[in-house]
Amino acid sequence: MPKELNDNICEDAVFERIYNKYAQDLQNFLHYKYGEQYNPTDKVQDAFIKLWDNCKKVTLSKAKSFLFTVANNLMLNEIKHQKVVLKYHLEKPKNYTNENPEFILEKEQFLQRYQNVLEKLSEEQRVAFLLSKVEGKKHKEIADLLGVTQKVVEYRIYSAFDTLRNELEGFKIK
């Protein structure tokens, strides 16, 4: 028993001795119990990493038990994760919408009109408007990007907004 007090798992030589003694047994245990599909070699390495992280808490006499428990739990967690992945993989996404064909057609027509009005805007208006509303940039950021004042940016955005509102009925932006 006194020898155990001197054997600190955090010492490299002791840890290496534990690794050499239990690594192959642990891998065989996981391989025979769960098979190769869940990568038992990776779980063995992860178990030894956890042992190293907790080397001050685990005594030498409990190292084997700790390793086998941690590795087994890692495998069980992997199996549980694979079941969730399989469940969502088997679920078929719905291939229908609650939108009727008339709504879809109106949406496409509105988008086309919106694109046409955007093309009619001056380049300065269009760039400022899209940077603000599509990319979500603040007026100060746009002013810095374009090399103009913030008031100029505000004027370009609001004039583009007025044009869009006049050309498109029901056009609103938040």
pLDDT tens digits along 2-35: 444 457 889 999 999 999 999 999 999 988 888 8
The reported pLDDT for the residue numbered 71 is 93
Task: Please tell me which residue, 1 or 172, carries the higher pLDDT value.
Answer: 172
- Which pLDDT belongs to residue 4? 46
Task: Please tell me the pTM assigned to this model.
Answer: 0.51
Query: For residue range 96-134, what is the model confidence (pLDDT) as tens digits?
Result: 667 788 888 888 888 888 888 888 888 888 889 888 888
- DSSP of 69-92: HHHHHHHHHHHHHHHHHHHHHHSP
d(CA 82, CA 5): 42
Give 165 or 18, the one with higher predicted confidence.
18
| Token pair 């001056």 in the structure block, residue | 122
Largest CA distance in the chain: 90
Q: What is the per-residue pLDDT for 1?
A: 39
Give the CA dihedral 61, 65, 67, 68, nearest 10 degrees: 150
Helix (H) or strand (E) holding 142: helix 139-146
pLDDT digits (tens, 9 = 90+) for 35-58: 888 889 999 999 999 999 999 999
